[in-house]
Amino acid sequence: MKENKYRTHNCGELRMSDVGKEVRLSGWVNSIRKLGGITFMTLRDHYGVTQVLFKDDAMLNGIVKETVVMIEGKVNERESKNPKMETGDIEIVAKNLTVLGKCKNVLPFEISEAPQTKEELRLKYRFLDLRNPELHERIVKRAKILKYVRDTLTDLGFVEFQTPILANTSPEGARDYIVPTILAPGEFYALPQSPQQFKQLLMTSGFDRYFQIAPCFRNEAARADRTPGEFYQIDMEMAFATQDDVFEVCETLATGIFKTFTKLDICSAPFKRIKWVDAIKDYCSDKPDLRNPLLVSDITHIFKNTEITFFKNKTLKAIKASAADKSRKFFDEINNYIVAIEGKGLAWIKFTSEGLSGSFAKGLSEKEKEDLTKFMGLKEGDALFVVADEKDKAISLAGALRNELGQRLGLVDKNKVEFCWIVDFPFYEKNEETGKPDFAHNPFTMPQGELKAFEKDPFDIVAYQFDLVCNGYEMLSGAIRNHDPEIMVKAFEIAGYPKEVVESKFPALYNAFQYGAPPHAGCAFGFDRMLMPIMDQESIREVIAFPLNKNGRDLLMGSPSVPFDHQLKELHIKIDK
- pLDDT per residue over 2-40, tens digit each? 789 999 999 999 999 999 999 999 999 999 999 878 999
**Closest C-alpha to 310, from 335, 331, 288, 341:** 335
- Tell me if 409 sits within 8 A of 323, measured CB to CB: yes
pLDDT above 60 (res 172): no
pLDDT confidence bin for 226, thresholds 50/70/90: confident
Specify if 274 maps to a domain. Answer: no
Q: Does residue 129 share a domain with residue 229? A: yes
Q: What is the pLDDT of residue 332?
A: 96
Mean pLDDT within 522-549: 95
Provide CB contacts within 8 A for 67, sequence distance 6+.
Answer: 28, 29, 99, 101, 102, 103
For residues 132 and 176, state if they share a domain. yes
Cβ pair 532, 540 in contact under 8 A: yes
| DSSP category for residue 453 | G
Distance between CA atoms of 97 and 528, rounded to whole angstroms?
Answer: 41
Residue 170 in this model has a pLDDT that exceeds 70: no
Q: 3-class DSSP state for residue 414?
A: coil
Instruction: Encode burial over 4-29: b for 16+ CB neighbours within 10 A, e otherwise.
Output: eeebbbbbbbbeeebeeeebbbbbbb
Pairing of strands 90-101, 48-54: parallel
> At 431, is the secondary structure helix, strand, or coil?
coil
Beta bridge partners of 476: 468, 525
Give the pLDDT of residue 140.
Answer: 98
In a domain, 456, yes or no: no
Distance CA 521, CA 152 (A): 19
In this predicted structure, the answer to whether residue 225 has a pLDDT above a threshold of 90 is no
- Residue finishing a domain among 76, 101, 126: 101
Residue 505 belongs to a domain: no
pTM for the model:
0.92
Which CATH number characterizes residue 339's domain?
3.30.1360.30
Provide the residue type at 276 as one letter: W
Of 43, 73, 101, the position where a domain reaches its end is: 101
Q: What pLDDT is stored for residue 377 in this prediction?
A: 95
pLDDT at residue 228 tops 90: no
Q: Residue 147: exposed, middle, or buried by beta-carbon count in 10 A (0-12, 13-18, 19+)?
A: exposed
Tell me, yes or no, whether 74 and 141 share the same domain. no
Q: Which residues contact 86 (CB under 8 A, 6 or more apart)?
A: 12, 48, 49
Asked if residue 76 has pLDDT above 90, the reply is yes
Q: What is the mean pLDDT of residues 155-173?
A: 88
Q: What is the pLDDT of residue 576?
A: 84
Instruction: State the pLDDT confidence band at 173, using cuts at 50, 70 and 90.
Output: low
| Average pLDDT in the chain | 95
Looking at the fold, whether 97 and 120 belong to one and the same domain comes out as no
- CB under 8 Å to 69, separation ≥6 — which residues? 26, 27, 29, 43, 63, 97, 98, 99, 100
Q: pLDDT at position 1, please? A: 59
Residue 148's pLDDT is what?
98
Would you say residue 437 lies in a domain?
A: no
Q: Does 75 share its domain with 179?
A: no
> What pLDDT was estimated at residue 171?
58
Average pLDDT over residues 463-486: 96
The domain in which residue 22 lies consists of 16-101
pLDDT of 222 higher than 90: no
DSSP letter at 361 equals T
What contacts 515, CB < 8 A, 6 or more positions away? Answer: 204
Residues 122 and 86 reside in one and the same domain: no
Whether 93 and 194 map to the same domain: the answer is no
d(CA 102, CA 379): 70
Q: How confident is the model at residue 117 (pLDDT cuts 50, 70, 90)?
A: very high
Question: Quick check: 173 and 220 in contact, CB under 8 A?
Answer: no
- Beta bridge partners, 356, equal 351
Is residue 131 located within the same domain as residue 93?
A: no
What number is the average pLDDT over the span 71-98? 96
Query: The domain that contains 22 carries what CATH number?
Result: 2.40.50.140
Segment 174-187 shows an average pLDDT of: 91
> What pairs with residue 180 in β-bridges?
188
pLDDT at position 381:
96
Please state, in angstroms and as integers, the Cα–Cα distance from residue 101 to each residue in 56, 129, 240, following that order.
Answer: 21, 18, 57
> How many percent of the chain have pLDDT more than 90?
89
Question: Domains in the chain: how many in total?
Answer: 3
Q: Answer whether 345's CB lies under 8 Å from 401's CB.
A: no
Cα–Cα–Cα angle for 357, 303, 356, rounded to 5 degrees: 10
Query: Within 10 A of 410 (CB to CB), how many other CB atoms are there?
Result: 8
Statement: residue 77 has pLDDT above 60: yes
Give the span between the Cα atoms of 525 and 529, in whole angstroms. 8
pLDDT band at 246 (very low <50, low <70, confident <90, very high): very high
**Is a pLDDT exceeding 60 seen at residue 488?**
yes
Would you say residue 490 lies in a domain?
no
Could you tell me if residue 496 is inside a domain? no
Instruction: Examine the domain organization and report whether 323 and 375 are in the same domain.
Output: yes
Q: Are 274 and 290 in contact (CB under 8 A)?
A: no
Same-domain check for residues 193 and 60? no
- pLDDT reported for residue 441: 85
417, exposed or middle or buried, with CB in 10 Å at 0-12, 13-18, 19+?
A: buried
DSSP-derived secondary structure for 262-295 = --SEEPPSSPEEEEHHHHHHHHSSSS--TT----
Tell whether the model's pLDDT for residue 340 goes beyond 70.
yes
**Residue 165 within any structural domain of the chain:** yes
> Which residue, 421, 427, 439, is CA-closest to 475?
421
Question: Residue 565 is part of a domain; what is its CATH number?
Answer: 3.30.930.10
Is a pLDDT exceeding 80 seen at residue 238? yes
Residue where a domain terminates, one of 411, 430, 461:
411
Establish if 62 belongs to a structural domain: yes
Average pLDDT of span 427-432? 92
Q: Are residues 237 and 121 in the same domain?
A: yes
Lowest mean pLDDT among 101-105, 192-196, 221-225: 221-225
Same-domain status, 124 and 255 = yes
138 Cβ partners below 8 Å, 6+ apart? Answer: 531, 535, 537, 542, 543
Residue 383's alpha-carbon distances to 322, 355, 388, 534, in angstroms, are 6, 11, 17, 34
What mean pLDDT is predicted for residues 84-89?
96
Q: Average pLDDT, stretch 361-375?
A: 95
Q: Taking each helix axis from N to C terminus, what angle separates 391-408 and 328-340, rounded to the nearest 10 degrees?
A: 140
